[in-house]
């Protein structure tokens, strides 16, 4: 049986061009700064996100954690959204390993933070009151359904934080998707934040890796955090080579994923038992709620999987589909058919493209 895996864009495989680049990559000891391919990737990444320098890390979690540890002193609070990936899916690492308590404020419908909430959350400097170390934003916003925040929204939060001397970190795991949606360059989305983490291993299809970017002195200090976390590598050029191909070749095609996600969402929204806010379908993620009480979400996932369709869950009745490079238009059509077979009991006509 053919498997259509829409759980995440992290399931993407390296392209043939990436594999060729990996096989012929020039390498050296990256811990001594001697891997020419890693150096090239870091320079390219920094330029593409409009920052002075960048550091290659094995994962998005390590990129975010390195940022938290570099920006903050032990005991400082990190302000973040209650629906953020940092809060839900990163093992509470900043708190567990860095002694950084999380100060949670509500995420808006599109993953935005209200600047007034941020202002109220930043602590006064007083004995006994925990200092505020950092404000974190996320773009695109995973649990909100791949939604995008604009440069104006980012700047409004950054201005409030900076007025109080607090830096801002952007979890931009899918920042290239956000830029594609808005028709802007990534630097326009990062200019008012102090650091940004983005992933090569999601929609961009590289097998491994993320980058943390920011001012040169910040990245120099972040390298110490990466080393402490065990994330400093040796001949990492072998994997960084795929990252270069990801940045040079895979960014332009992201709108294809956005179009397929939209097409899928519009059809899904018409099926019984599904509540889907089409306004939030902006990039490659489709988040929706299973409102048909006859279905338990786990049972639905099982019924879909039995027909070859894999999707993921946000917990509760909220489910997620992610469009990505590995899936053809015909497979999206088949995915819709499977949904229809399961929820309605009969195959739906293949939608017009």
- Point out which residues bind ligand TLP (CB under 6 A): 8, 10, 59-61, 85, 89, 138, 142, 171, 173, 199, 201, 210
Q: Which is nearer to ligand TLP, 37 or 147 (CB)?
A: 147
Closest to 48 in 3D by CA, of 59, 60, 40: 40
Least spacing, CB of residue 270 vs ligand TLP, in Å: 26
Q: Which is nearer to ligand TLP, 8 or 205 (CB)?
A: 8
E-state strands within the chain: 4-5, 53-57, 77-81, 102-105, 132-138, 168-171, 195-199, 210-214, 274-275, 285-290, 309-310, 312-315, 318-322
Least spacing, CB of residue 207 vs ligand TLP, in Å: 11
Least spacing, CB of residue 45 vs ligand TLP, in Å: 15
Ramachandran area for residue 37 (φ above 0: left; ψ -120 to 50: alpha; else beta): alpha
Q: Which is nearer to ligand TLP, 133 or 146 (CB)?
A: 146
Q: Which is nearer to ligand TLP, 145 or 237 (CB)?
A: 145
Residue 83 contacts residue 143 (beta carbons within 8 Å):
yes
The two tokens of residue 152 are 């104006």
Least spacing, CB of residue 343 vs ligand TLP, in Å: 24
Helix/strand/coil percentages in the chain, nearest 5: 45, 15, 40
φ, ψ dihedrals at 244, nearest 5°: -65, -45
Q: Which is nearer to ligand TLP, 41 or 61 (CB)?
A: 61
- The residues pairing with 102 across neighbouring beta strands, listed in sequence order, are 78
Contacts of 147 (CB under 8 A, 6+ apart): 109, 110, 111, 140, 141, 280, 282, 283
Least spacing, CB of residue 142 vs ligand TLP, in Å: 4
Give the CB-nearest residue to ligand TLP: 60
Q: Which is nearer to ligand TLP, 39 or 313 (CB)?
A: 313
Least spacing, CB of residue 66 vs ligand TLP, in Å: 12
Least spacing, CB of residue 90 vs ligand TLP, in Å: 7
Query: Tokens 């934003």 appear where?
Result: 137
Alpha-carbon separation of residue 18 from 24, 104, 151, 241 (angstroms) = 10, 39, 32, 7
Q: Which is nearer to ligand TLP, 88 or 123 (CB)?
A: 88
């Amino acid at each position: 049986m053919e498997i259509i895996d829409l759980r995440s864009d992290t399931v993407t495989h390296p392209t043939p061009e990436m594999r060729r680049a990996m096989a012929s990559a020039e390498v050296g000891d990256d811990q001594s700064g001697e891997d020419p391919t890693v150096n090239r990737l870091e320079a390219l990444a920094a330029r593409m996100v409009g920052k002075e320098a960048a550091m290659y890390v094995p994962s998005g979690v390590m990129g975010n954690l390195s940022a938290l540890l570099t920006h903050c002193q032990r005991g400082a609070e990190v302000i973040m959204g209650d629906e953020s990936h940092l809060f839900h899916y990163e093992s509470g690492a900043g708190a567990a390993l860095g002694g950084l308590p999380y100060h949670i404020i509500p995420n808006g419908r599109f993953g935005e933070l209200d600047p007034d909430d941020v202002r109220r959350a930043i602590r006064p400097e007083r004995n006994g009151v925990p200092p505020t170390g950092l404000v974190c934003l996320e773009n695109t916003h995973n649990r909100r359904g791949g939604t995008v925040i604009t440069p104006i929204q980012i700047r409004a939060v950054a201005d409030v934080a900076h007025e109080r001397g607090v830096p801002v970190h952007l979890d931009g795991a899918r920042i290239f998707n956000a830029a594609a949606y808005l028709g802007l360059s990534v630097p326009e989305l990062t200019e008012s934040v102090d650091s940004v983490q983005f992933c090569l291993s999601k929609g961009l299809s590289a097998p491994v890796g993320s980058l943390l970017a920011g001012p040169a002195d910040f990245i120099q200090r972040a390298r110490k955090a990466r080393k402490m976390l065990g994330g400093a590598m040796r001949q990492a050029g072998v994997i960084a080579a795929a990252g270069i191909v990801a940045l040079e070749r895979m960014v332009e095609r992201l709108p294809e994923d956005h179009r397929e996600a939209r097409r899928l969402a519009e059809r899904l929204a018409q099926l019984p038992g599904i509540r889907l806010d089409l306004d939030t379908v902006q990039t490659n993620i489709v988040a929706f709620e299973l409102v048909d009480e006859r279905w338990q979400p786990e049972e639905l996932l099982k019924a879909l999987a039995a027909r070859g369709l894999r999707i993921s869950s946000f917990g509760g009745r909220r489910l997620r589909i992610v469009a990505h490079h590995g899936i053809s238009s015909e497979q999206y059509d088949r995915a819709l058919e499977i949904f229809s077979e399961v929820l309605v009991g009969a195959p739906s006509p293949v939608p017009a493209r």
